[in-house]
Amino acid sequence: MLWSIFWSDPTFHTLNNTKATNSLLRIDVILLLVLPQIALTLANSVIGTKDVVNRYYGKIKHRVEINNLLYSIGFGNIISALVGGLPFCHGSGGVTAHYRGGANHFISNLIMGVFLLFLAFIYLKNGQWLLNYPLPFTAILLIATGIFHLNLARPTWETKYGKIKLFLATCVAIFLFFHKTTH
């Protein structure tokens, strides 16, 4: 992200289809990419994750604190940048997927981490097979996680104005999705 702000290609086109200047500080990139990503990361990866952990993990929910989420995302992104990786963030949907998949102990993190490092090592040797991961299996996992995650809205749904709030939020999300994909 910092590379994009300061040193990205000077032929980058802005929203009004004019070429950006080759200045040191790219205001257009900050406004169009950085600020929305910060808002999304804070909403989904920090506040949303804390809320989902509180709902799923009961007695051990105190282990996940806002400052620890911010530290892990921040340090993780710095380490990722140092090895040439892309930005990443936690996500409340990921917590739902792991919880519903049986991950309820720190050993689950160790197993997942070792497995992913093993896949990375194999991918370095011959990673083409990993690109052929069966899409129907991925779709089933995403749909199941979505349904589990959607159930977290049940308490809101059952309140006096909950149905209206969720309906309006859904309409706005659908509008923004189709508005963005058609322009």
Which of 103, 108, 90 is CA-nearest to residue 48? 90
> What number is the average pLDDT over the span 127-140?
80
> Per the structure block, which two tokens stand in for 90?
């936690």
Q: What pLDDT sits at residue 5?
A: 46
Long-range Cβ contacts of 137-145 (<8 Å, 24+ apart): 141/97, 144/100, 145/93, 145/96, 145/97, 145/100
Residues above pLDDT 90, as percent of the chain: 22
- Residues paired with 19 in a beta bridge: 13
* pTM metric for this prediction: 0.68
> What number is the average pLDDT over the span 138-143?
88
DSSP-based three-state secondary structure for 19: strand
DSSP-based three-state secondary structure for 13: strand
- Residues paired with 13 in a beta bridge: 19
Which of 100, 78, 95 is CA-nearest to residue 87? 78
> What number is the average pLDDT over the span 127-131?
71
For residue 24, what pLDDT band results from cuts at 50, 70 and 90?
low
1 burial level (CB within 10 Å; 0-12, 13-18, 19+): middle
Say whether pLDDT at 61 is over 80: yes
